[in-house]
Amino acid sequence: MKALLKQYLPYLRDYKKSFFFALLGMIAVAIGTAGTAQLIKPILDDVFIKKDIQMLQLMPFLLIGVFALKGFGGYVQTYYTSYIGQDIVRKLRNKLVAHLSHLDMAFFKTMHSGEILSRVTNDITRIQSVVSNIIPDLIRESLTILALTGYVIYESPKLSFYFLIIMPLALFPLTKLAKKMRKYSKLSQESTADMTTRLGEILTNIEVIKSNSTQAYEQQRFAKENQNVFKFIMKQVKTNALISPVMEILGAVAIGLVIYMGGKEVIDENMSVGAFFAFATALFMLYTPIKRLSNLYNKAQDALTANARMHELLHINPTIISGKKILSSSIETIDFDNVSLHYKGTPALQNISFEAKKGDSIALVGDSGAGKSSLVNLLVRFYDPSSGTISINHENYQDFTLVSLHKKMAYVTQRIYIFNDTIAANVAYGEEINESHVIEALEKAYAMEFVDTLDKGIYTILSESGDNLSGGQRQRIALARALYKNPDILILDEATSALDNKSEALIQKALDALKSKMITFTVAHRLSTIEEADTILVFEKGKIICRGSHKVLLKKCQAYQKLAKNL
């Protein structure tokens, strides 16, 4: 709890004005609460026993004033603490997403998207309670306890002694319960992440599920994860619910003892009835903030676990470090010099060497797992070589900034990514929309023929993943996005697999016209897309076993001959 407060209290420095008003509200609540107890004494002693008419006339106004102070203070505190909490959470989300977007591809290959989503949404929501509720409530309840404790000690130091001795005994069971709460909070958050992952898989793979009629199977798998969430949440509820009876029993013991001793004081005429009831009222009111503090301590365990999970992500550092040089000149050459790549110790590429110049088209062929995608991953610097050097314009490409490097490249992947935005925004993705350039790119990708049929043309909103487009249309949008960048290096990873032969031939013709302006790398399973390549690299078990033109390889490379029959 101390570490959590130490971590988030500094955030309040940016909200001095808001926190000042929130603190005023908390003080008003504390004073109003203590004032309520104080009013009991004159009501009983002056109004009911002494029959004081002036006090009777004054009392309604005093009551209204005290409750108005308490109510308004509560409103001010709630508004400003909520504002601070929500704004800090907004900043935390931005910080976390910005950090995640710069992590290596290896991280996203190992951590499930559902786990990441759970940490960005569920865990940060739990952390929000620290700033919006736990810290402000801790301050408010502490101020209220101080005000009421000061009042009961002032009213009767002797009776206060019994209460103040018994209540600290509650710390022992509360500490034990807090440890259990932290354990179940961790399990609950992990199981929620697993359930989110499972749900994400169902939604992503819904076509496969429906086509195989495996709804019952997936429902069973989801139900299992959902049951785990239910089980651990109920353990949390059970543990949290124990706090109330523990506090009730200890509070009853303390109050019972005070009533007995206080009753004797009144009988012996050492204390007036009004003073005793004012003391008892303050004591009853003191019990509420103490109970709330114990609940806050337990709630903090949930936030502690969420905080640890969030900072676990923030402490992961990328291994792909951006260089310092800006790649401003056009890419004329790219060289692979004895490059090898290992994934967790397993070799993916071994001793790869080749050179490509502007105007060259390089085709990558080979069986699945032969190393084609690994080479592409190196090209776009999703990974760095385990050994060897990749050079651009005869300089190590790791010396260039990632931003300037990626601005010179366009990568059309096997999996087509369409964003829930306009066609124009999808084509100009990340850059300012230039209508004429967007249309030009769409025309080169032979996409304008269907875009023109849409009511809003290039400003038509595409649904999530481009579900309102056909597979071929999605590929054309992705290709137009690549061409919009006017790249120096164009990487096509089965970029035309969903197109018919006629459309593919037209796009290939458009790419041929642009060939002299860029270096093109093509990963393909169709012979038609690689026949005209200047150089074909044949991969097998992470090695280049043959290289040359289509005609040369058909004569000299047995492995290519076998592949050509299947392409």
In a domain, 293, yes or no: yes
pLDDT of residue 135: 76
Do 486 and 442 lie in one domain? The reply is yes
More confident residue, 208 or 448: 448
Residue the block writes with tokens 């043959």: 546
pLDDT of residue 1: 59
The whole-angstrom separation of Cα 564 and Cα 567 is 5
Do 158 and 43 lie in one domain? The reply is yes
The whole-angstrom separation of Cα 22 and Cα 76 is 6
Instruction: Select from 416, 553, 554 the least CA-distant residue to 496.
Output: 416
Give the total number of structural domains in the chain: 2
Stated pTM of the model: 0.73
pLDDT of residue 446: 86
The single-letter DSSP state of residue 44 is: I
Q: pLDDT tens across 99-154, in order?
A: 988 888 888 888 887 788 888 888 888 787 777 777 778 888 888 888 888 878 88
In this structure, what are the phi and psi dihedrals at residue 486, rounded to the nearest 5 degrees? 50, 60
Cβ contact 353:337 at 8 Å: yes
The whole-angstrom separation of Cα 41 and Cα 47 is 9
Q: pLDDT tens across 331-365, in order?
A: 999 999 999 999 888 899 999 999 999 999 999 99
H helices, E strands: number in the chain: 22, 10
pLDDT at 521 over 90: yes
Q: Which amino acid is at 26?
A: M
> Bridge partners of 334?
356, 392
Q: Which range among 186-190, 465-469, 524-528 shows the weakest confidence by mean pLDDT?
A: 524-528
* Cα→Cα distances 539→52, 192, 374, 523, Å: 102, 42, 11, 11
Do 439 and 523 lie in one domain? The reply is yes
pLDDT at 167 over 70: no
Instruction: Using CB atoms within 10 Å of the CB of residue 105, give its burial: 0 to 12 exposed, 13 to 18 middle, 19+ buried.
Output: middle
pLDDT of residue 407: 92
Residue partners of 557: CB distance under 8 A and separation at least 6 = 538, 545, 546, 548
pLDDT-derived band of residue 567, with 50, 70 and 90 as boundaries?
low
* Cα→Cα distances 65→36, 60, 61, 119, 379, Å: 10, 9, 6, 46, 73
pLDDT-derived band of residue 190, with 50, 70 and 90 as boundaries?
confident
Do 155 and 187 lie in one domain? The reply is yes
The whole-angstrom separation of Cα 284 and Cα 37 is 9
Do 286 and 223 lie in one domain? The reply is yes
Sign of CA dihedral 10, 11, 14, 17: negative
Instruction: Give the end of a domain, one of 314, 342, 376.
Output: 314
The whole-angstrom separation of Cα 255 and Cα 162 is 9
In a domain, 210, yes or no: yes
Cβ contact 102:318 at 8 Å: yes
Number of neighbouring beta carbons within 10 Å of residue 496 = 25
Do 365 and 475 lie in one domain? The reply is yes
In this structure, what are the phi and psi dihedrals at residue 366, rounded to the nearest 5 degrees? 155, 165
The single-letter DSSP state of residue 330 is: -
- Three-state SS at 474: helix
Cβ contact 341:374 at 8 Å: yes
In a domain, 471, yes or no: yes
pLDDT of residue 424: 95
Give the length of the chain. Answer: 567
The whole-angstrom separation of Cα 120 and Cα 132 is 18
Do 116 and 208 lie in one domain? The reply is yes
Residue 267 structure tokens:
């009988």
Q: pLDDT tens across 42-63, in order?
A: 888 788 787 888 888 888 899 8
Instruction: Select from 286, 288, 292, 262 the least CA-distant residue to 275.
Output: 262
The whole-angstrom separation of Cα 488 and Cα 357 is 10
In a domain, 1, yes or no: no
> Bridge partners of 520?
361, 490
- Three-state SS at 179: helix
pLDDT at 75 over 90: yes
CATH number of the domain residue 443 falls in: 3.40.50.300
In a domain, 4, yes or no: no
Do 123 and 251 lie in one domain? The reply is yes
Instruction: Give the end of a domain, one of 251, 282, 314.
Output: 314
In a domain, 216, yes or no: yes
Instruction: Using CB atoms within 10 Å of the CB of residue 203, give its burial: 0 to 12 exposed, 13 to 18 middle, 19+ buried.
Output: exposed
Q: Which domain range does residue 460 map to?
A: 333-566
* Percent of the chain at pLDDT exceeding 70: 95
Residue 207 structure tokens:
């076509």
pLDDT at 469 over 70: yes
More confident residue, 84 or 504: 84
The whole-angstrom separation of Cα 140 and Cα 142 is 5
pLDDT of residue 438: 95
Number of neighbouring beta carbons within 10 Å of residue 561 = 13
Q: Outline where 408-542 has alpha helix (H).
A: 423-427, 435-444, 448-451, 471-484, 501-514
Q: pLDDT tens across 17-41, in order?
A: 998 999 999 899 888 888 887 888 8
Do 35 and 84 lie in one domain? The reply is yes
Do 377 and 467 lie in one domain? The reply is yes
pLDDT of residue 394: 94
In a domain, 339, yes or no: yes
Mean pLDDT of all residues in the chain? 85
Residue partners of 501: CB distance under 8 A and separation at least 6 = 528
Instruction: Select from 386, 283, 379, 277 the least CA-distant residue to 331.
Output: 379
CATH number of the domain residue 62 falls in: 1.20.1560.10
pLDDT of residue 179: 78
Do 339 and 245 lie in one domain? The reply is no
The whole-angstrom separation of Cα 456 and Cα 458 is 6
pLDDT-derived band of residue 299, with 50, 70 and 90 as boundaries?
confident
Q: Outline where 167-272 has alpha helix (H).
A: 171-204, 206-211, 215-241, 243-267
Instruction: Give the end of a domain, one of 260, 279, 314.
Output: 314
The whole-angstrom separation of Cα 388 and Cα 491 is 21
The whole-angstrom separation of Cα 317 and Cα 102 is 9
Residue 270 structure tokens:
């050492």
The whole-angstrom separation of Cα 378 and Cα 384 is 6
The single-letter DSSP state of residue 29 is: H
Instruction: Using CB atoms within 10 Å of the CB of residue 202, give its burial: 0 to 12 exposed, 13 to 18 middle, 19+ buried.
Output: middle
Do 472 and 410 lie in one domain? The reply is yes
* Percent of the chain at pLDDT exceeding 90: 31
pLDDT at 391 over 90: yes
In a domain, 551, yes or no: yes
